[in-house]
Structure 1
Amino acid sequence: MPSLQCWWSHGWFLLFPFMLSVLLLDSYMVFVCRLILPSVSCRFRCPGPGMFQCSFTGLVFVVDQEAELLYNTVQWDESLLQSAGKMAAGPLFNIHCPEDAVCELYLPHRETEDALPSEGLLSVVHITDDGMSFLKPLEITDTHVIVKVSHLSAFGLVWLGEMLQRLFNNKKPICAQVLLFLRPPDRDIQILDVFLLPSNLPLSEVSEQQKADHITLPSACKLIVDQRYSVLSASEKFEIQPEFAEFYLNYGPNFPPTFMVFLTPNTETLTVMVKDEDGTEVWKCKVLLPSPKRGTGQSSLPADDNFQAEERLRAVRAEFIQRVSDTVLNQLLDKLLEGGVFSDEEMKSARTKSTADKARDVIDSVIGKGNEASSFMISALCQLDPCVSRELSLR
């Protein structure tokens, strides 16, 4: 089936349309990320019938017409699951589609291939204002559980109760991920946070809570729930806490690090290993630590308060034009009008332009109005779109 990768504002989306005629590069798509701890909210406009996969969450939507999708993760009610003899097997997604265009939903799972044949153990829960129901999967692939849907609300994967899961799975490993975040230096000490998490937990859910840089590495591994693991470094004798930690299915809302590696000053590289309680290596990777000289893949713009706001905007002008969405631009124009930065005529003139021209007009006009106006825009953008603000180092 043909595919198309489209970039919009914050991430990649994979589109798998039913018909080649849907493959239009100028299809209208909107993807907005905003910080609502502990979850990331997403808006996506499907240009027509097809299959659309979100690169942040792994969700796949099958729609039969043009539609707008709104979705975010919400917290599980553990007492509700326990009363039904179930346990969470993935995040709980709250999904809405005003057009009722979604006919099938693919929820990402983290089960290994040998665990999938256990029929009846894995199902989909559907939670509405009327209560909780369980949907039998149409199919379980290597990566997703597929269900038919008639109306949307909250959907999530669940297993049979913990005792039954242990009995049927016989301590089989699940697909997991090792995530590394490097904290900013504090008193000449740097801490590398190591997270052991199920693979179907979106990275964005974890990264939004970290005041640290995510280090992109091959993260896939297989871990056993409730088994103890340790983290070691092959490079140097770093202090690592705790010595051992159990791996458990954490789907939020809070994500504390599983391990902390206390780095020595000027550390540039290290090799991190994860071992099980028998000493068997389950994950190993060489880590190149980001530094101011090498950069972290984000804007190198200083976040110093003394750095003039208009200079900060000028330094990120090109990236702002490329990354900001039309929705955020319209909200930003409202803020600039309310704050007296733009006149009514300037605001109306900017709204008539295409997204790129609108972004170019907004940032050039604000820079031309000086430091106070630039400072106001930075503050408004951080409020309206924390994701882009962070990418531009404006936060």
Structure 2
Amino acid sequence: LKIRGLLSVVHITDDGLSILEPLEITDTHVVVKVPHLSAFGLVWDFIQRFINITLPVEGQVLLFLRPPDEGPRILDVFLLQENIPLSEVNLLRLNKGAKYIRTSSDSDCKLYIGQSYSVHCEPEDYIQPVRVNFRSKYGPNFHPTFEVFLTSNSNTVTVTVVQDQEKTEVWKRNVNLPGPRRETAQSSVPAEDRLLLVRIKFIDRVTEPVLNQLLDKLLERGIINDEEMQSARAKIRADKARDVIDTVRKKGAKASSVLIAALCEVDPCLFRELRLR
């Protein structure tokens, strides 16, 4: 159809029907010249831009659980327009071994393009990024909008999508994850105790760049404050490592789970070596 003369465009108006010759044909678009457009459409577009009217789009939230590996389970959360076929996204994720998690009324939400959204998960887990501005996606590649590191052993979680500007919940579901998950002796130990078990190895083997990245992530999640971060950064590598693991461990299970998930992301080799799963 890209051969000139084999494709025409029909233009229908109140005055009748006319055939428009394409100016350019690509794999996805046809460019034509339309001499007369609706004045209402042009004026309405100008009014929308002038008074900053933003209309929501029908959206969908898709969940995929990555295959088990040496780290925590990871739940991928996709924020997409409703007209993106589930089959397209599902095919891409299946090729990576991920499992689609079916929930009720996946498309039952409205999303605003350009506005900020965040995801919350209970039991509390490590989530990245903290927030994103929703934008249109049409493929062919679909990357997760959010990654939820499931550091707890629960097979049921509550996932909530929040519109940050209004602090309103636009989508919330109780999600049953595939299971049962095989627990190891290590995974059944509380997170702070798991850190204590690997404390010496962590101090010996963690590198300076990894420690700095961990500090940034702990600060971002509110686990440590600016004073604690600056105090740790001023120390030599071994003392910095002691400060990081001991400070977080003393803050309890939630803080310890965040550090474990952050280490899995920043240095998966050390994470596997420490067997923190």
Name the TM tier (shorter chain): 0.3 to 0.5
Structure holding more helix per residue = 2
TM-score normalized by the length of structure 2: 0.47
Structure holding more strand per residue = 1
TM-score normalized by the length of structure 1: 0.34
| Structure of higher CA gyration radius | 2
User: Which of structures 1 and 2 has the larger relative contact order (alpha carbons within 8 angstroms, sep 6+)?
Assistant: 2
